[in-house]
Structure 1
């Protein structure tokens, strides 16, 4: 597994506790955390996908934003998911989910981390099913 940059001890511990395999890659000037085997809820066209998170230069003070999936995911119902686009990353096509924290749910430096962001990602997936 590639480790082009160092995650914090807290991030490594929470990923290990969740049994998560991960890679840290650098593409251009950006650091990316690649997480194969992310569980996708029933109601989508796949049960697992690789999730990618762009790790900002000033993380953990600056928030992680959005999520990227490979393969692209879709609803089994056929309903279109809004605010998606494609991004080539590490030679693959990832589907960018343009989802952001809100004033009601802001990034909390010193509290939020990779694992709390993955919980947010799971919330976004569930909300899309509920629409």
Structure 2
């Protein structure tokens, strides 16, 4: 697994506890965490994908935003998923999910981290299936 940058101990511990393999990749000056075998809930065309998070330079003080999947996810129901674009990362095409925290659910420096953002992303996946 590639480790182009160091994660905080708290992030490494929570990812280990969650059983997620991860890579730290730097591309075009941006830091990315890539999860090569990210589990996807039932209701989508894939059960495991590569997922990626862009880690901002000011993390953990500033929020992680969105999530990226490769290959692209689609709902088994055939209903389209809104607010998607594509991004090439590490030689693969990723599907960018434009989902953001709100004033009702803001980033909390000192409390939120990589794993709380992944929980948020899992919530986004669940909401799409239930629509």
Does residue 68 in structure 1 map to residue 71 in structure 2? no
Does residue 119 in structure 1 map to residue 110 in structure 2? no
CA distance in 1, matches of 2:130, 2:73: 16
Task: Give the alignment of 1:68-107 within 5 angstroms.
Answer: 68-107=68-107
Q: Which runs of 4+ in 1 moved over 6 A?
A: none
Unmatched runs of 5 consecutive residues or more in structure 1? none
The structural deviation recorded for 1:19 is 1.2
Matched residue pairs, number?
131
Unmatched runs of 5 consecutive residues or more in structure 2? none
Match in the other structure for 2:42 = 42
Match in the other structure for 1:14 = 14
Match in the other structure for 1:26 = 26
Match in the other structure for 1:110 = 110
The SS at the match of 2:26 is: strand
The structural deviation recorded for 1:35 is 0.7
Match in the other structure for 1:4 = 4
Match in the other structure for 2:54 = 54
